[in-house]
A and B are shown apart, each in its own frame.
Chain A
Amino acid sequence: MGPSSDLLAFFSRMKSQGAIIVEDLPKFDVESYISNYQGRTRFDRLMLLGESSVPLCVDALKAAVVEAKNGRDVGRYRGAWEYIRVAAPNEPEAIRDNAWIESTETANKAETARLEVELKGYRNNLIKESIRMGNEDLGTHLEETGHLKEAAEAYGRMRHDVGTTKHIVDCAQHLVSVALQRRDWVSVISNASKVSGLQATDLERDLQPYLKAVSGIGQLGLGKYHEAAASFLQINSAGSLESLQGLITSNDIAIYGGLLALATMDRKDLQTKVLDNPTFRTFLEHEPHVRKAISQFINGRYSTCLSTLEVLQTDCLLDLYMQKHVATIFTRIRRKCIVQYFIPFSCVTIQSLDEAFGRGGNSIEDELASMIRDGALSARIDSKSKLLVAVSTDPRAKMQAKALNVARKYEHEAKERLRRINVIASGLEVTRGKRQTDEHWYEGERTSVLTG
């Protein structure tokens, strides 16, 4: 059964809005996938499935509507309803529940007003702890009702009245949570690092997985893949993983860490920091595919490594944090494989590269050309003999060219500077005052001189 016309219309709209559309069936179903997560991330993830996955769209959106109605965030409900109205207008969830919207909105407003009044009372009494808790309550409420910016402000105000290390950590965790929802990666990293700097040993041990995970997500969001990989690889599986609940699962950690490492690290680091890393191994056990791909890369079986990864691609494309980076990360891994494959040779036939890396009968030549253009591969293509030839640099010629270049550059620069000294010594600089007369001169001259 192909997708219905409503669904097609929905996805063409999504595509025009820049969403990534995944048509393949992922390895999970909505129910089991979402049960791994808790809290507000559930809704975000369901919506992402709805936006991106053709086979899971309707199920995910229905679940999203239910999820929204379980909470108090009217904006979320409206968003989910907008989607399902287009994607599956015949489902019962596609009928707008105005009564719920109204009652929830009224209740939310009343609650906000109540909390603000309370907070004002605490402020008047000048009891620090109460003010802090008042801010926290207000922040939580605002976050739950989807007012993320205001929530962040309320949480931010908590910091003025912190008393213990625990308070600082609470405050930072709230801020990180809001920043993650707002996709404000810089704020995620900075708040996480504030906690890392606290130097409270037992607290640090408990929080280590959480801090590393959120910094990893933040760095991933900013496209700093190498740093992100390092963060994920450092997550201590022996530490308390409770703090990660609702955020990411052990499987996610394995995939994020493994793929990012594969994309950014060299063979030696992959062996020592990933495969031989006792703490990360626990995570890798959840995702045997990633583990297999890494060891295949290390053993030089690049094409099998890539086909192993191919399996993971669909799932990654439906991941909340990974989705936008999948294309880049997979291209990097692929390019790395090609580069590694080529290293031992001075010359390889394009045919053999096609056999190893070719995709769907298309020749790899164009891809090689773009790699060379980007500087990823140091080689030249010989289209006549169908060869990829390594660039053999003659160090002597290179040195000579460099020496000459330096000499010429030096001479040029020295001359220019000498000129400048003498221009200034003769008082011939262009000054601001001269500008007017200058223009006058210029207009006159232009007609006579420059038209020649």
Chain B
Amino acid sequence: MEQLSSVLTSYPPASASSTSHKQQDELARVYLSAIAKLSASNKRLILEQPEAFLKLLDPAKNSIGYLFVLNTILNASEPRIGRPSLLDAIVVFLLSFDPIQVRYVGNYLLPLLEAVGTGKLFPPQVAVEILATAMLRLDSNASMFTSTHLLLATYAYETDCVEPALKVLERDITTYPIAAQKEQRFLCDPELPLTSFISVQTGLTAPVKATTVLEYDFIRGLIYMSRREWTKARKALERVIAYPTKDKGVSKIMIDAHKKWLLVGLLSDGEAPQFPGYTSAAAKSAYNIMASGYREVASTFSSPKAIDFVNEVISNRPIWLEDGNVSLIQEVQVAYQKWQILNLRRIYREVSIYKIQESTSSGETGEPLANPQQVISLVQSMIDSKALKGEITVGPDSESFLTFQGEQEWSSEKDFAGEIAQAHHNINLLSQEYKASNERLSGHRDYVRFMIRELKRADKDDSDAGGFDAQIEDEDLMNDIVHHG
């Protein structure tokens, strides 16, 4: 016991912070091999008094050791620890582990995260919260995609506990795990780029495939749809449909995302969305073939002829059923008239309720609303939900009017300056990321090979050109003849 405790607590040494990265790395590796070599009897010792060992170690300082003990307990068939205390220990660990230390024990951490993310340990609300927090501890921007991302999104969506997951889901992912990567620096270097420590080798992510990424964004789209955040949903789905492809490949997830994207675009912008410029041509043509019905609905959505729209919706009902988009189509139908009313702001400054009733129709029945009261309540609900900026006033003949208000997003110069500064800041951050990517890719094997080939060719061209000049100088035919003659 004594000996075991001294092994487990031997890292990190008290003086660790002052040592160099190299020494730290060595220490960590020595420690790792020491605990890996612990005999079965030692492990049994841990299992006999698990709580004592957990108490012995500080999860924030002795993260490696703590995780090792946790792992040993979790792998045991009958741990002698009450479930509440074990779960407490896991929560404490996941909320406070040292993000540098765990880089060495990804193969222990990932199974733990997976156990949390499949709901084996905690109720959903807790599981999602601590999983998201742990992910942010590992990568504070959550800008690198891992297999855990999909796990989190799927679990949050399935259990309908989305709120605590949003802090991860809303981050922009810009990097992805890279297979083989030569890294001179040490794992404990805090400056180390994400791609160098979050990888399959360190065990911090399981292997990621294209479908993993697509599914993640697709589920994000579904999550935002369930929250009725249409613009965010559209952007998430847009990532799926514009996903890079090669050899004219198109995934079925992309096709399905495109269908939803068309409808969500109608909900968020009131008109059919446009493909991003970088959508691949093969994907576009596949979408156009596969999305019959959806395109018709999208094109009739912005026309004032409600009956055309309703007919398209009704006649394509089998398609909605087959694709499981019935409820989304219903949302679109409800939104139809709202957008018709919103579009009136481009024509009117003040418009009578009677006029709204006359000139817009319901997307569900294709008929105008039956009486002005229904129009007023619809408009009022739009104003209340902040979809419409305006107010209902009563005119001279006690007729009600809707007054549209300006759409400016900011109210003062200061706000505007703030917005611009924010945008500037974001772009600056991005350019740093660009630099990092550029640096990383410059060292990529394929690129280096390509550069070498280019250089060789340039050399060859140069020598060719030089040779030709030289030849001209040499090519003194008369001399030649004289010489031979």
Interface hub of B160, B208, B252 (most chain A Cβ within 10 A): B252
Does A373 make an interface contact (CB < 8 A)? yes
Does A414 make an interface contact (CB < 8 A)? yes
CB-CB contacts below 8 Å: B408-440 with A: 408-410, 416, 419-420, 423-424, 426-427, 430, 433-434, 437, 440
CB distance from A107 to the nearest CB of B (A): 54
CB-CB contacts below 8 Å: B367-407 with A: 393, 395, 401, 403
Q: A380-B348, A381-B351, A428-B176 are in contact. Are A417 and B278 (CB under 8 A)?
A: yes
Q: A418-B437, A450-B222 are in contact. Are A384 and B423 (CB under 8 A)?
A: no
Does A115 make an interface contact (CB < 8 A)? no
Instruction: Check if B420 sits within 8 Å of A432, measured CB to CB.
Output: no
How many Å lie between the Cα of A442 and that of B441 in the bound state? Answer: 32
Q: A449-B154, A449-B157 are in contact. Are A426 and B245 (CB under 8 A)?
A: no
Contacts of B210 in A (CB 8 A): 428-431, 434
The secondary structure that dominates the B interface is mixed
Q: A407-B420, A411-B426, A449-B154 are in contact. Are A383 and B433 (CB under 8 A)?
A: no
Contacts of A420 in B (CB 8 A): 244, 278
Does A382 make an interface contact (CB < 8 A)? yes
CB-CB contacts below 8 Å: A381-428 with B: 381-385, 389, 397, 400-401, 403-404, 407-408, 410-411, 414-428
Does A441 make an interface contact (CB < 8 A)? yes
Interface size on A, residues (CB 8 A): 51
- Closest chain B residue to A377, Cβ basis: B347
How many Å lie between the Cα of A382 and that of B393 in the bound state? Answer: 13
CB-CB contacts below 8 Å: B205-221 with A: 208-211, 213-215, 219
Does B250 make an interface contact (CB < 8 A)? yes
CB distance from A411 to the nearest CB of B (A): 5
Instruction: Check if A418 sits within 8 Å of B251, measured CB to CB.
Output: no
How many Å lie between the Cα of A428 and that of B211 in the bound state? Answer: 9
Does A343 make an interface contact (CB < 8 A)? no
Instruction: Check if B437 sits within 8 Å of A421, measured CB to CB.
Output: yes
CB distance from B157 to the nearest CB of A (A): 6
Contacts of B176 in A (CB 8 A): 422-423, 425-426, 428
Partner of B209, one of A373, A419, A428, A433: A428
Instruction: Check if B278 sits within 8 Å of A384, measured CB to CB.
Output: no
Partner of A373, one of B158, B174, B346, B430: B346
CB distance from A103 to the nearest CB of B (A): 54
Instruction: Check if B252 sits within 8 Å of A422, measured CB to CB.
Output: no
Partner of B427, one of A403, A410, A419, A430: A410
Does B350 make an interface contact (CB < 8 A)? yes
Contacts of B424 in A (CB 8 A): 407
Does B253 make an interface contact (CB < 8 A)? yes
CB distance from B269 to the nearest CB of A (A): 14
Does B276 make an interface contact (CB < 8 A)? yes
Instruction: Check if B420 sits within 8 Å of A404, measured CB to CB.
Output: yes
Instruction: Check if B393 sits within 8 Å of A372, measured CB to CB.
Output: no
- Closest chain B residue to A366, Cβ basis: B359
Binary flags per residue of B315-340, CB closer than 8 Å to A gives 1, else 0: 00000000010000000000000000
CB distance from A269 to the nearest CB of B (A): 30
- Closest chain A residue to B343, Cβ basis: A373
Instruction: Check if A416 sits within 8 Å of B420, measured CB to CB.
Output: no
Binary flags per residue of A433-452, CB closer than 8 Å to B gives 1, else 0: 11100110110010011111
CB distance from B252 to the nearest CB of A (A): 5
Does A25 make an interface contact (CB < 8 A)? no
How many Å lie between the Cα of A373 and that of B211 in the bound state? Answer: 44
Interface size class of B (residues with CB under 8 A): 35 or more
Instruction: Check if B423 sits within 8 Å of A419, measured CB to CB.
Output: no
Does A200 make an interface contact (CB < 8 A)? no
How many Å lie between the Cα of A423 and that of B211 in the bound state? Answer: 12
CB-CB contacts below 8 Å: A74-91 with B: none
Q: A428-B176, A435-B252 are in contact. Are A423 and B243 (CB under 8 A)?
A: yes
How many Å lie between the Cα of A429 and that of B211 in the bound state? Answer: 9
Does A327 make an interface contact (CB < 8 A)? no
CB distance from B234 to the nearest CB of A (A): 12
Instruction: Check if B252 sits within 8 Å of A423, measured CB to CB.
Output: no
Does B172 make an interface contact (CB < 8 A)? yes
- Closest chain A residue to B407, Cβ basis: A401
Does A369 make an interface contact (CB < 8 A)? yes
Partner of A445, one of B178, B215, B393: B215
Instruction: Check if B211 sits within 8 Å of A438, measured CB to CB.
Output: yes
Instruction: Check if A421 sits within 8 Å of B441, measured CB to CB.
Output: yes
- Closest chain B residue to A435, Cβ basis: B249
- Closest chain A residue to B395, Cβ basis: A384
How many Å lie between the Cα of A433 and that of B244 in the bound state? Answer: 15
Partner of B178, one of A417, A418, A426, A441: A426
Q: A428-B210, A430-B214 are in contact. Are A369 and B347 (CB under 8 A)?
A: yes
Contacts of A384 in B (CB 8 A): 350, 352, 393, 395, 401, 403
Does B16 make an interface contact (CB < 8 A)? no
Partner of A431, one of B157, B249, B441: B249
How many Å lie between the Cα of A84 and that of B287 in the bound state? Answer: 53
Binary flags per residue of A356-388, CB closer than 8 Å to B gives 1, else 0: 000000000000010011000000111111000
Q: A384-B350, A428-B176 are in contact. Are A435 and B250 (CB under 8 A)?
A: yes
Q: A414-B434, A438-B253, A442-B253 are in contact. Are A427 and B347 (CB under 8 A)?
A: no
Partner of B213, one of A380, A385, A418, A428: A428
How many Å lie between the Cα of A432 and that of B245 in the bound state? Answer: 8
Does B247 make an interface contact (CB < 8 A)? yes
The 5 closest A-B pairs by CB, nearest first: A407-B423, A426-B176, A432-B249, A380-B349, A384-B350
The contact sample of 13 A-B pairs, CB cut-off 8 A, is: A380-B348, A383-B350, A384-B352, A384-B395, A403-B420, A407-B420, A425-B437, A428-B213, A429-B244, A429-B245, A430-B245, A433-B247, A442-B253
B residues near A (Cβ < 8 Å) are: 154, 157-158, 160, 172-179, 208-211, 213-215, 219, 222, 239, 242-254, 256, 276, 278, 324, 346-352, 355, 359, 393, 395, 401, 403, 408-410, 416, 419-420, 423-424, 426-427, 430, 433-434, 437, 440-441, 444
Besides the contacts A433-B247, A435-B250, what 8 more A-B pairs have beta carbons closer than 8 Å?
A380-B347, A381-B347, A410-B427, A418-B430, A422-B175, A423-B243, A439-B252, A442-B252
A residues near B (Cβ < 8 Å) are: 369, 372-373, 380-385, 389, 397, 400-401, 403-404, 407-408, 410-411, 414-435, 438-439, 441-442, 445, 448-452
